[in-house]
Amino acid sequence: MSQKFEKLSVLVDGEELSSSSSDNHLIDDVKNDADLMQKWKSYHLIRDGLRQELPVQLNFDIADKVAKAIESEPAMIATKKTWRNIPIVGQVVPFAKQGGQMAVAASVAVAMILGVQQLNQADTDVPYNAAPPILGVQGGLSPVSYDQTRALPQTNESEQRRRVNAYIVDHNQQMRFKSTEQVSNSTEPSVQDMTIEEQVNTVENIPE
């Protein structure tokens, strides 16, 4: 028996046995022998553990659970079919409800960011910086009714997009400049600040 376990271990490791016929023989044995089958399972689990491949949650014997669930399911005969009764769709809905909020938030963010990127590429030459500072001044000059300032949700939204996008662009620039500093911590005579700004501003198409 222990020899069999040894052979099984070798098989799990993917190392070839001496002859393929004994290989097949062993596989047949595993199919028929409950002990070996259990060992086969455990060896794989141990290997996954050693390789740190185990998932965050372990779901053992899904097949058994599914089989039991099916058995305990009351037979549905001649019920009116709605989409909820279709097994897969019925399962999906509560799941979607569960994770929906986060998923929607994330996808909105992605859509927003991607949208902005495309927008930005279309007219990179348009200076965006003109409008926003006025907002603050307006408030300082005269009391503006709440409704009036609220009447510009569209600009607030695009303003927000623009700001988020600015962070993404800057992150990519910083990654590129990061290695620069590692090489030269010495202060070299640098190009005038203005020139650098210009250069940096134009670096839009950075991979990733």
Partner 1 sequence: MLVSSATYNALAQEDASDLKDAPTTTVTSPKVTAENWLAKMSHAMRALNYSVSLVLLTPGNDAQPYLWLHGVNDEGIELEQLNLLNGPGREVVRIGNKVSYFEPNVPPYSLESSIINSPLPSDFFRHPEKLKDGYDFFMIGRSRISGRAAQQIRVLSKDRSRYGLNLWLDQETGLLLKLNMFSLESELIKQIQVTGLNVTDKPDGFFSKIENSMLPEVISYQPKSLSNSDWEIKYLPLGMKIVKRDLHRLSGTGKTVEYIMLSDGLVDVSVYLQDFKGDEPIQNLVGKVESDTLLTIQQGTLNVTVIGKIPAETANRIATSIQSVH
Find the binding residues for partner 1 in span 160-199 (CB under 8 A): 160, 162-171, 173-184, 187-188, 190-191, 195-197, 199
- When the beta carbons of 15 and 71 are compared against partner 1, the nearer one is 15
Q: Does 52 bind partner 1 (CB under 8 A)?
A: yes
Selected from 74, 99, 153, 207, the binder of partner 1 by CB under 8 A is 207
Residue 206 host element (H or E): none
31 with 37: CB under 8 angstroms?
Answer: yes
Beta strands in the chain, from DSSP E residues, in sequence order: none
Q: Does 59 bind partner 1 (CB under 8 A)?
A: no
User: DSSP label at 83?
Assistant: G
Q: Identify which range of 17-25, 70-78, 89-97, 109-117 contacts partner 1 by CB under 8 A.
A: 109-117
131 with 155: CB under 8 angstroms?
Answer: yes
- Round to whole Å and give the CA distance between 29 and 32: 5
| φ and ψ at residue 203, rounded to 5 degrees | -75, 85
Total binding residues toward partner 1, as defined by CB under 8 A: 77
- Round to whole Å and give the CA distance between 179 and 175: 8
State the nearest-atom distance from the C-beta of 23 to partner 1, in Å. 18
Selected from 58, 62, 63, 122, the binder of partner 1 by CB under 8 A is 58
> Binding pattern to partner 1, positions 4-23, x when CB under 8 A?
-----x---xx---------
